[in-house]
Amino acid sequence: MAAALTVGRAALTLFLVCLLVFLITTALPGDAAVIAAGQHATPERIAELRAALGLDQPVWTRFAGWLSGAVRGDLGVSLVDGRPVAPLLWSRFTATLFIAVPVWVLALGVGTPVAMLLGWRADRASSALLAAIAGLPEVVLAGGLVVVFATWLGWLPAVSLVPAGGTAADRPEVLVLPVLALALPATAWIARLLRGPVSDVVGRPFVTDALLRGVPVPTVAVRHVLPHLVPPLAQAGAVLAGGVLTATTVVEAVFAYPGMGQLLATAVGTRDSPVLQGLAALVAVVVLIAVLAADAVAAVPAGRAGAR
Amino acid sequence: MRTWLLVMGLLTVSAVVLCGAWFAPHDVTEVVGVPWSAEGLLGTDVLGRDVLSRLLAGGAGLLAVAVPAGLAASLLGTVAGLAATWTPWVERLVLRTSAGMLAVPGLLVVLTCAVALPAWAAVLAGMVLLGTPLSARVVHAAATPLRRAGFVLAAVVRGERPRAVLMRELLPVVGATVLSDAGLRVVAAVQLTVAVHALGLGPQPPAPDWAVMIRENLPGVALNPWSVLAPAAAVAALTAALLLGLDLLGTRIVPRTVPRRHAPPPPGPSRPVTGVVELRGVTVESEPGVPLFAGLDLTVAEGEIVGVVGPSGAGKTSLLRLLLGDVRPGARVVTGQLLWHGEPVVFGSRVARRWRRAHVGLLPQDPAATLDPLRRVGAVAPADVLARLGLPSDVGRRHPHALSGGQAQRVVLARALAADPELLLLDEPTSGLDAATRRLVTEEITARRRSTVIVTHDLRWARSVCDRVVELRHGALVPVGETPTRPRAAVVEFGAPVLRLEDVAVARRGRELVRGVDLELRRGELLVLVGPSGAGKSTLLHAVAGLHPVIGRVEARGTVALLGQDPVAELNPVHSLGSAVARPLRLAGLRRREARDRAVELLAEVGLGPEFADRRPGECSGGQRQRAALARALASDPDVLLADEPTSALDATTADAVLEVLDRRRAAGLAVFFVTHDEDVAARADRVFEVVDGRCAERVST
């Protein structure tokens, strides 16, 4: 019953997100027909294109049509080149996972110990430093990393080109710089986010009491603090999943990596609303699944601790 | 006072970034050489334009979009966060939306908006939509714990409007949080703006922009790395400057306690070894200037059981902590030492930690909370000790939540006894125990015949178990029963009744704490209410002050003031003592100048010189702060003073001084309703009421 309610609420959220994105992307003054027709098109030509693209129908009709297609896995065709959106989206999504998954793993794996080190004793300077790293725009890091590792040291390629017909797994070195550019701020962000929970757990009676009884600090950290960080860690991981997926936009555009982020950047530039709608729905699905998974993971220690 | 320097620095950085184009040596669109050549200080860019000129001109657009967007989110969030501390429905709204908004990827929102809106509007919309709830959450989290601080309650009681309480009392104290959060929001806005501009949705060529520069010059990075590095470094520097600047500004707003310097502890006098463990001349400050213990001496002989009693807040638990070779965070040992078989153990050292793990067993107060909820009982204590304490055989497989309170207590006792420690420390071992467990614990303690220190407030039980019982009072140990009695105040003629309670009851979270309170307070009278902790005494006082819902009839003829017990929370750390005392006078309509002069007189009345008027609470000792809080409570010449244990955290001298001020005021007609644990204070009272088992009755003097 509770599980059904949770899934139902997630489905409703997904529906609302899709509706909102649909409304925003269709409520444009200049739509895809204007762009497709070119700069010197006559109003007749634009109207003709609009009819051909189905843009002259009411918003609700178009949303219902899009939704019924989306349920069957058909996300429509791109307004720019007429290709079906769903397969395009899927291939770009899998390509992006080559960047997003390592970033996610690195951020959680490195960010957690950093948070435990810093959270143990509250200190303002490290907090500000973490915030500054977490606040660095990806394009800045990408630019800096390219200058150092590609131009000066010559260790890594400045552009992440993938061989035709292959995947990034064939040339893993092209992934290093994009992953680094995303992982640095993501790690700092995770560390910042988990510091609070770490200091909360450190202040709880069973930790202070263990220290008072003379149990060594590393033992206390692993035995009494880490298990209690699982729920906030799962939550942070869920939020990070959506964040990393969208943050790839800039990095992929900078490194010319053919992933989902680059697709998003192009779609916004060309106002290709079917691609945008499909993308937003995909990211929303990933975030919602991640949040549900985080809730399920967090429920395990909660159940052990006797909370209902 | 370098605050103005920081503000100037931030303004200068902003001005330089905004007006950089004026200093550019070339026009931003002028071609000065071949693309990506070394022409000029930083070379040329993709079209052969001067990088330095474009760098100087390229930050204005970024700053003009990001800073207003970030500050807008922060401002709206601060207002919502403060409102949330006051109004329950705003609180629910803030907590719910902020939890949901955290999972929404900001860049996706901004890019979606950027389809329909110009870049600056998309960033603004994204920040207001996503940043506002987050700021509200942060400000709410910082302000909520202060909602019931003494200075906030005092402001409510003296009749400040909610907006004045939020803006004058709460906002300055959370100012550091607000500014540091504003820094985060501005940086998030910079991050989003840079991303949107880098994707080509912002300023169109040939307009200069740092984000666009990084993007368009990357292909030529091998020829002229500075065309990319310079704008990247500029963005990074701007981000760091905004973040650190606002954060530092925040730390300057709330003055922190200035620790005073102390001479190093002199070596303790050499005395013959007398016990297993000994505290020798230990002086501890709970924070600079607030003494917790003064020259504490305690010796526990081999096999001796020592009981320590004393009123709540006297520092009994802190005493046990000293016997563990540790002090609580924030407190520090000024002089004295801990000896183990005559050998010194340095407080808070690693040696002390190893020593207590090997030789000391501890049963802490509220033992159930010290069990890690995720670890099974079997991992905490060995099975044979658990069985000896009469716990069921399957207890080892259970998690702590599946234990009753008495079982949890026995599990923790088993943990303490597991290694048969030479020294056993027990903190309130019998509180909240049923008769059977109490007997069991008593037997375990007496059967051991090894050195034990027991902290308790149950004097009769302590006498039955311990070899000797000492009392902790005003930071020193005295044999029980030898407490000095203070002289009774001169008899004052009582005037007309000013406060009447008829059949009053108070409840907290649906549970009734005290009921059937019937009392009348007359002018000049000192009425004391005593009773155990958690009996609802403070809640009753708050109900009389109008801070808590009241059941029954409370009739006050005249003005009421409230004085709380925690000298740290009584005064707003941001306001000087003078302005804190002057505030009720200003509210009563006095002019700034008059209120100021009167505040100095009031401070003098409680024994604080005129120099204290300009000091902030962080520069004063606990006793000085409590005197200033008393001066503030008396400033509006109230008819009734409601005092909630105002002397419990004070040393004997300051406590006497506070009581003497009250005696003088009583002679002039002030009625005092005093809640306390302290029987010394009760001895000065005209009438004493006592809460026993939830009922309040007048104590008949014997």
**Greater pLDDT, B366 or A98:** A98
Q: Tell me the one-letter amino acid at A275.
A: V
How far, CA to CA in Å, does A273 sit from each of A30, A34, A252, A268, A280?
A: 12, 13, 20, 8, 10
Nearest to A186, CA basis, from A99, A254, A127, A104: A104
pLDDT-derived band at B407 (thresholds 50, 70, 90) equals confident
Nearest to A70, CA basis, from A26, A15, A28: A15
Contact A135 B187 (CB under 8 A): yes
Number of other CB atoms surrounding residue B502 within 10 Å: 12
CB-based contact (8 Å) between A251 and chain B?
no
Contact B399 A305 (CB under 8 A): yes
Name residues 129-188 of chain B within 8 A of A (Cβ): 180, 183-184, 187-188
Residue range B250-291, pLDDT digits in tens: 777 765 544 333 343 444 444 444 678 888 888 888 776 677
Comparing CB atoms, the residue among B112, B190, B366 nearest residue A137 is: B190
pLDDT > 90 fraction of chain B, expressed in percent and rounded: 11
What mean pLDDT value characterizes chain A? 82
Residue range A158-201, pLDDT digits in tens: 777 776 666 767 777 778 888 999 999 999 989 988 888 888 88
**Greater pLDDT, B100 or B270:** B100
Comparing CB atoms, the residue among B194, B360, B366 nearest residue A205 is: B366
Which parts of B244-358 are beta strand (E)?
277-287, 290-300, 305-309, 332-340, 343-345
Q: Whole-prediction pTM value?
A: 0.77
Residue range B595-626, pLDDT digits in tens: 999 999 999 998 888 888 988 887 787 778 88
CB-based contact (8 Å) between B256 and chain A?
no
pLDDT-derived band at B489 (thresholds 50, 70, 90) equals low
DSSP letter string over B99-122?
A: HHHTTS-HHHHHHHHHHHS-HHHH
ipTM of the complex: 0.82
Average pLDDT over residues B510-533: 84
Comparing CB atoms, the residue among A135, A216, A283 nearest residue B108 is: A283
- Rounded to a whole number, what is the largest CA-CA distance in chain A? 84
Residue A220: closest C-alpha in chain B: B372
Instruction: Using the predicted structure, report yes or no on whether residue A298 has a pLDDT greater than 90.
Output: no
* B624 Cβ neighbours under 8 A, 6+ residues apart: B289, B608, B612
Which residue of A133, A195, A206 is the best one to mutate when testing the B interface, meaning the one whose CB has the most B CBs within 10 A? A206
Instruction: Using the predicted structure, report yes or no on whether residue B430 has a pLDDT greater than 60.
Output: yes
pLDDT-derived band at B67 (thresholds 50, 70, 90) equals very high
CA dihedral B116, B119, B123, B124 (to 10 degrees): -80
Average pLDDT over residues A269-291: 85
What is the structure's pLDDT at A32? 59
What is the structure's pLDDT at B691? 83
